[in-house]
Amino acid sequence: MTERRGVTVKTGNQASAGELLELVRSGRATTRGALQRATGLSRATVGQRLDRLFRAGWLREGAGGPVDSPLGGRPSIALEFDDEHAVVLAADLDTRHGRAAVLTLTGEILAEHAGPLVIDDGPEAVLGELGRWFAELVGKSGRPADAVCGIGLAVPGPVDSDTGRVVQPPIMPGWDGYDIRGRLGRAFAEHAGTGAGTAGVPVLVDNDANLMAYGEQRAGYPDCSAFALVKVSTGIGAGMVVGGTVYRGVDGGAGDIGHIRVGADALCRCGSYGCLAAVASGGAVARRLAESGVPAASGSDVRELLAAGHPEATALAREAGRRVGDVLATVVTLLNPGVLMIAGDLAGTPFLTGVRELLYQRALPRSTAHLAVVTSRLGERAGLVGAGALVVEHLYAPERAEERLAALGV
């Protein structure tokens, strides 16, 4: 067997067409000869299973490669995953705005839109509007609605990945237990004008920090076996990618560090006192600025003030960074990541400076000896890239690929 991103690929006589596809997508075996050697299948069997993938439009032949045999002969033909046969939709929701895109199967953004989308308006309204965005973006991308093979959605709350429903989200009133998958699928179908044709498109939902971490790790740090991302915006959350797979905990609650108690007496939106998010999030900094007469209502407002070099915002961001760094010293000791990425509205120099001050002061040198503390590479697109990748990895995983090939009749 071989493994990639937490997916086990069978070899030998049990290797299926889906598993051959996984070997090609991973780059482990990209010619017919290499697939024979990797799986132990005969040339005829490899050919039969590849034929199913060609008929589905999932594989294509690329340029000729080096000759496989030392005895010479014709150059081998490279096999490539065909990323043009379908597209995915992805969206990333924050508390007051959203971002959506159409992406290729390899993560290239074909069309994108960002705008106001208030999470407090509730799932019915927000997901209905998101369905409209998706339909318009598909039109702008030049692809038909039936080319959409899946939808990925990042939300600012804990998600049960089995059901796609948020679980007791502190900053998403009215969303607890709501059928996000069903509503978003119907909304896209309604606005795309395709009725039931696209209502059955699979919808995957995950926490925003998880998907940001997944996107960033895959795009910039694919060899990092323990990767952590902390998003500091209106709230605070962390995403962790361990062994190439998002670590979610038993029911999606892993990484909710914004509700670790830090000994303060500030009231948090979750109803408790002393949570980290109540004193160190973008929302908390905005409240302190507003109390001193500086117009600020959210983390995005703080981000604009920081970009303008506002002195009070800078000082408060550094203080918030120190509070978060104190908590992250424990996180780093527990997880021992190779990369700790700071993202979100406050992810600038003042906040990062504060994080480093307390992190390196409180954590043991052993925990930070091989740690890189960095800021986001993908910026506001990280959640989109991660959501798109989540959909693709789900749909083209070996077992699911086999189911889809059978449904296509190939």
Residue whose tokens read 């960095």: 374
Cβ 160 vs Cβ 177: under 8 Å = no
Q: Which of the 8 DSSP states describes residue 138?
A: H
Residue whose tokens read 């709350």: 157
Q: Burial-class residue 333 by CB neighbours within 10 Å (0-12, 13-18, 19+).
A: middle
The C-alpha atoms of residue 213 and residue 201 are separated, in whole angstroms, by 25
Identity (one letter) of the amino acid at 219? A
The C-alpha atoms of residue 343 and residue 375 are separated, in whole angstroms, by 6
- For the chain, give the mean pLDDT: 92
Residue whose tokens read 């926490």: 207
| Entry pTM | 0.91
Cβ 292 vs Cβ 316: under 8 Å = no
Residue 7: beta bridge partners? 4
Residue whose tokens read 């108690």: 261
Count the neighbouring beta carbons within 10 Å of the beta carbon of residue 127.
27
Residue whose tokens read 């709501």: 178
| Residue ranges, the chain, pLDDT below 50 | 1-4, 6
Which of helix, strand or coil describes residue 238? strand
Task: Please tell me the predicted confidence (pLDDT) of residue 369.
Answer: 94
The C-alpha atoms of residue 350 and residue 353 are separated, in whole angstroms, by 5
Q: Which two tokens stand for residue 192?
A: 């795309």
What is the Cα 403 distance to its own chain's centre?
A: 24
Task: Please tell me the predicted confidence (pLDDT) of residue 3.
Answer: 47
List, edge to edge, every strand of the sheet that includes 109-116: 109-116, 97-104, 87-93, 148-155, 203-207
Which of helix, strand or coil describes residue 134? helix
